Structures are given as structure tokens and as C-alpha cells.
Amino acid sequence: AGNSGYLLICLHFQLFQILMPRQKYDNCGVVLEVTSGRTTGGDICQQFTQEVFEMYQGYADFKRWTFEILNYTPSGNGGLHHAAAHISGDNVYKHLKYEGGTHRVQRIPETGLSSRMQRIHTGTMSVIVLPRPEEVKIRVDPRDLRIDTFRAKGPGGQHVNRTDSAVRIVHLPTGITIECQQDRSQISNKETALRTLQDQLYRQTIERELSERTSARKGQLGTRAQSERIRTYNFNQDRVTDHRIGYEVRNIKEFLCGQGLLDDLISKLVEVAEMEALTEHFEHNCKPLPADS
């Protein structure tokens, strides 16, 4: 009886996979970006942004994907303002596409506040996940660019203040402006800025296409708009809540390691999304049988 039940589950799963309409880009890698948001006090946003970025780095390692950091802008207190990474491997976009949105954190700041301010503060950070097909190349006409150099600001000693190593690139047709001062080499900063510009232009193209493909029926997972609040990490209660499916996880520290607990939540999100897509597919493509006259 046990084997029969297992075989039935396997057959059900295989049938589901056959009927399930294939989603474009599911097999592609992604460009994942994290950006620190606002807070009611302390530096919890920058700290949390770093923790989330490292969580996805850990998840990539857990799934045996490749994680390549494209941009990394730390904050002065050891946190993170912004970072971007290219993640490649099997079905990366399928697993990460529902991570895009606003992630909210609630915690008591560890440092930087007086004793009177030692209370729970709320902050946010945003995650953007865009598919990145390997064969796609965004060509930029050099005639559409204005490239300026300037002296880098921030830590780095006298070298930073004496050389025009920082690069600013303006894409004239769109007005997109990219600055880079990560490296002491002007050539390296220019190459990084050009790659970032290509990613920005690619993002516009993909976001426009995904917006056009979005279902008119808002499902349980929401619109996947980048401004949508999708998850809350409550450190005081040691709980992670995904608001789209009402899923709760205990043990934030383990969740932020980016392994089994995160994978369980992502698998549930994928399952719910696939059921919604299958239901919608039948609603649009299957006509009811005529009633007997």
C-alpha cells in the first residue's frame, strides 16, 4: 500500500509537470540586486541588507550555483548600501524570481543608539531579481555615451585624492547615469561602469516584457512588483513571515544562512505559483463541455 501511494504521488507529479505551461526564462541565470532602505532608527537597514545579500550568496552555494559579485557598495558602519551579483546555474530564475520586492526587518539595533532608544525599530531593503539569458548581449553605441573622470571620494589615502580614477558614464538616449570608483584603476572602473550600464538597459527591456506578460488576475503571490512588501524578519520574535502565502519560519539565524529553511520557503512559493499558473492555463484554454440536451 505504501509503494502504491508513492507511485501515485510520482505519477501525479509527472502529469502536473506535463500539463504545467513552461515559463519563459525559468532556466536562465539572474542578476540580483539589493538596496538598503529607510529605518526608524540606527543602522539596521545597512546591516540587514548585508545579511540578506550574504543569505543569497549562501543559497547559491547550497544549490551549487555560481555567484559572481558585480557591484558592492558598503556603508561606513560595516553594513551595505547596495550590491549586485550574477547568479548562474540550473533553474536559477525559477527559484529566485519570487524573491524580488521589499523585505522588512524589525529588530533592536545592536550599537549606535542611546539606552533610551534601545527599542524595536523597523527598516526595509529591496531585492530586484531579473533573468539573465546567457546569449543576450546589450550593445551600446559609443556615440550615445558621455564619459567623465573625476577624483574618487572616500577612504583610500592620498592616492584617491590625487588621481582621476573615478568614472561617470551618461547614456544620452535614456539619461541613465552610472558612477564607479571601486578600483584605483580608471580602466577597471570604466569597464565596471559599462557593465553596470548594460545591466540597467537590460533591466529596462526585461521589466517592460515581464510587465506586458503579467497576468490580469492578481494571484496569491501578488504582482511581483519590486515595491511590494513580501516578507518580514522579526528578530525580537525570531520569526520570518512571508505575507503572500502566510508562511512562517522560526530561527532567523538559520534562515539567513540561506540553506534548508530558505529552500523550503522558496519551494513552497514555486509550488503555489505553479498551481496558480496551471489553474489560469485551464481557465483560458479549456472550454467546458456542453450540457446534455
At 168, the amino acid letter reads R
Distance of alpha carbon 224 from alpha carbon 247, whole angstroms: 17
pTM: 0.71
* Secondary structure letter of residue 244 according to DSSP: T
Helix (H) or strand (E) holding 234: strand 229-234
* Secondary structure letter of residue 65 according to DSSP: -
pLDDT (average), residues 77-92? 90
Looking only at Cα atoms, what is the longest distance across the chain? 90
Residue 175, exposed/middle/buried by CB under 10 A (0-12, 13-18, 19+)?
A: exposed
Res. 140 pLDDT band, cuts 50 70 90: confident
Res. 41 pLDDT band, cuts 50 70 90: low
Distance of alpha carbon 65 from alpha carbon 30, whole angstroms: 11
CB 113 within 8 A of CB 48: no
pLDDT (average), residues 62-90? 90
Query: What backbone torsions phi and psi does residue 107 show, to the nearest 5 degrees?
Result: -160, 165
Indicate if the pLDDT at residue 241 is higher than 60. yes
Res. 117 pLDDT band, cuts 50 70 90: low
pLDDT (average), residues 61-75? 92
Q: And the C-alpha cell for 124? A: 526595509
pLDDT over 90, % of the chain: 40
Indicate if the pLDDT at residue 116 is higher than 80. no
Q: Does 283 or 223 have the greater pLDDT score?
A: 283
pLDDT of 235 = 94
pLDDT (average), residues 204-229? 58
Q: Does 111 or 37 have the greater pLDDT score?
A: 37
Cα torsion for 243, 248, 250, 254, to the nearest 10°?
Answer: -70
Res. 260 pLDDT band, cuts 50 70 90: very high
Indicate if the pLDDT at residue 215 is higher than 60. no
pLDDT of 125 = 93
Query: DSSP readout, 9-43?
Result: HHHHHHHHHHHSPPPTTTTSEEEEEEEEEEESSTT
Indicate if the pLDDT at residue 157 is higher than 50. no
pLDDT (average), residues 89-103? 93
Indicate if the pLDDT at residue 40 is higher than 80. no
Indicate if the pLDDT at residue 230 is higher than 90. yes
148 has which bridge partners? 168
Res. 223 pLDDT band, cuts 50 70 90: very low
Q: How far is CA 180 from the centre of its chain?
A: 21
Indicate if the pLDDT at residue 291 is higher than 50. yes
Highest-confidence range of 13-17, 231-235, 276-280, by mean pLDDT?
Answer: 231-235
